[in-house]
Amino acid sequence: MPELPEVETSVQAIQEFTNQTIESIEIYNPNLRWKIDRKAFKRLEGLKVERISRRAKYILLHIGKPQILIHLGMTGTLRIADKTSNFYKKHDHVELIFQRGKLIFNDPRRFGSMHFIKEPGTHFLLKKLGPEPLSEEFNGEYLFQKIKKSLSPIKNALMNQHNVVGIGNIYANEILFDANIRPTRKSKTLTKREHHKIVTSTKKILKVAIKAGGTTLQDFYQPDGNKGYFKIDLAVYDRTNKKCISCKQELIKRIVQSQRATFYCRKCQI
């Protein structure tokens, strides 16, 4: 599933549609994870996109007070195409046709979604989200107070969108390796200093990943068709039985936590 860097990369790539008018919306298949409200989307035709932003792993097209919320799910992608192009790819579900070009939502597994939002603050996907990891609000003191009594493993706590948004399995592994903290540690056992290390590593890893364009493993592509290239910099994820790049002695171990693969170095991460 695309994580924060991949979604941020997509947001940056589609900025050309800011200040453009939506001339028409074509919905070929409304049956995504949540069914698309055709009538609501049709009301957006003829209106201008004032701003495009990201909240957590969601893409938001601001059209006055209403918004279009896009969730890429497991395999969803956005593709930019020429306005006059009739090229159709299997699993193209929605086309937003603008004055100059069109934005196409493709999702083979249909775990993604598109929503018409009147009140973003009360929408069920947005109202209980934690702070953005690159914001000032997300700091060591905040994280310490939030999870200091939690029995949850720290990796699970980082992936909990109520604690902090946008961090999925890949980056949780990378962050904890960078912070030298074992993913299985119970959150309540971490010191304040370790919370600060986690926050520092979070901001560092995510910034590097955004700059590199996200991580391509199977399904993620940028809207311009390019792959994300952060995979070449992965330090621990998917490196089972390879030597740790830090200590150069221990082999990376793989375990499963909450049905997700976890990778760590038994020597470096304590």
Tell me which residues are annotated as active site: 2-3, 57, 260
- Bridge partners (DSSP) listed for residue 116: 68
Q: Which two tokens stand for residue 126?
A: 């947005």
| Alpha-carbon span 214 to 11, nearest angstrom | 12
| Alpha-carbon span 56 to 71, nearest angstrom | 10
- Bridge partners (DSSP) listed for residue 255: 262
CB neighbour class for 140 (10 Å; exposed up to 12, middle 13-18, buried from 19): middle
Cα torsion at 250, 255, 260, 262 (round to 10°)? -20
CB neighbour class for 184 (10 Å; exposed up to 12, middle 13-18, buried from 19): middle
| Alpha-carbon span 136 to 149, nearest angstrom | 23
